[in-house]
Structure 1
Amino acid sequence: MQRGFKIVSHKAKAGLHLPQRQTKQAAGYDFEAAEDFVLPSIWKGNFIKTLWKLHHQDQLTADDITAGDQSLKPYLVPTGIKAYMQPNEVLMLFNRSSGPLKRRLILPNGVGIIDADYYDNPANEGEIFVQLINYGLTDYHIKKGERIAQGIFVPYLTADEEEQPQAVREGGFGSTKE
């Protein structure tokens, strides 16, 4: 087995589909949402209040900043999928072209990186979650099975004479130390 997808054990009976390419020449494997999920609009809540104060050059309090930032926080949409690959490969997650255009949904980091050692990690079995922000005016209801991102397997290169990292992945999403 060189690379591919499996359903995580706790969602084995949830009727999920493995990611698939939709056409012969497609590079990306479409990932589906593992469950219904409501993605709130960033324009609701405290973000607009914070923008109003900024626009009017009012002094922002620490609470204003925290509340505004919380409105912009991405949500993690579960896929129920894990990906296995070779040690010198990475799975890159991207927006589907219809996400921003038709639904106003985006990956806020532009691209998600799934490392080979994320597979079967002890924190979450390597389940892939898609970070999404809804910049539309209303909440968006993602339906189970709706395609929300696309993944592309890519080989990568390392620098000459680098000091080989010794750390072993112990956690799940965002687990490496900053």
Structure 2
Amino acid sequence: MDIRGFEVVSAFEGQGINLPKRKTSESAGYDIECAEAVVVGPKETVLIPTGLKAFMHYDEYLAIHVRSSMAIKRGLMLTNSTGIIDSDYYNNEDNEGHIMIAVYNITDASVALEKGERVAQGIFSKYLLTNDDDACGIRTGGIGSTGSK
């Protein structure tokens, strides 16, 4: 049985979405591409569609980090510093678990990203629970569905 990996969300099937790959045998992250061309205006935040969803074991998450070349050469940073994709985000009823990359352009010029351009990397990680953890909620939606408080 598959334990972790990536799939294309149904809205992007047949649109040439590449599943993330590591570029070297010692790379931690799987490179994630833009599913379509996007322009990020100066001082603007944009959600970049990836066309992907990720599945993993219940005690794992996918950490999303901006590629260093995006930050250093293009002036883009993740709006939320690190994106956290929980295992129960996969196939949620709102957006099928579609991974969206929230970037902020710190420059005074627009940044154009092409479809297929590698913008982020995903790293699968385990997490630990406290002795008194009693979480029992069930995810019913997509981004922000676990509440704002």
Aligned length: 147
Q: Which amino acid aligns with 1:14?
A: Q
The Cα of 1:108 is off from its aligned counterpart by: 2.1
The Cα of 1:12 is off from its aligned counterpart by: 0.6
CA distance in 2, matches of 1:114, 1:162: 20
Helix, strand or coil at the partner of 1:152: strand
TM-score normalized with structure 1 length: 0.80
The Cα of 1:150 is off from its aligned counterpart by: 0.5
Helix, strand or coil at the partner of 1:125: coil
Match of 1:58 in 2: none
Match of 1:100 in 2: 71
Q: Which amino acid aligns with 1:33?
A: C
The reply on whether 1:176 has 2:146 as its aligned counterpart is yes
Q: Which runs of 4+ in 1 moved over 4 A?
A: none
Alignment partner of 1:141 out of 96, 105, 112: 112
Helix, strand or coil at the partner of 1:100: helix
Any gaps of 5 or more consecutive residues in structure 1?
A: 43-70
Match of 1:32 in 2: 33
TM-score normalized with structure 2 length: 0.96
Q: Which amino acid aligns with 1:39?
A: V
Richer in strand (by share) = 2
Matched ranges for 1:76-95 at <5 A: 76-95=47-66
The Cα of 1:173 is off from its aligned counterpart by: 1.1
Any gaps of 5 or more consecutive residues in structure 2?
A: none
The Cα of 1:161 is off from its aligned counterpart by: 2.2
Question: Percent identity over the alignment?
Answer: 44
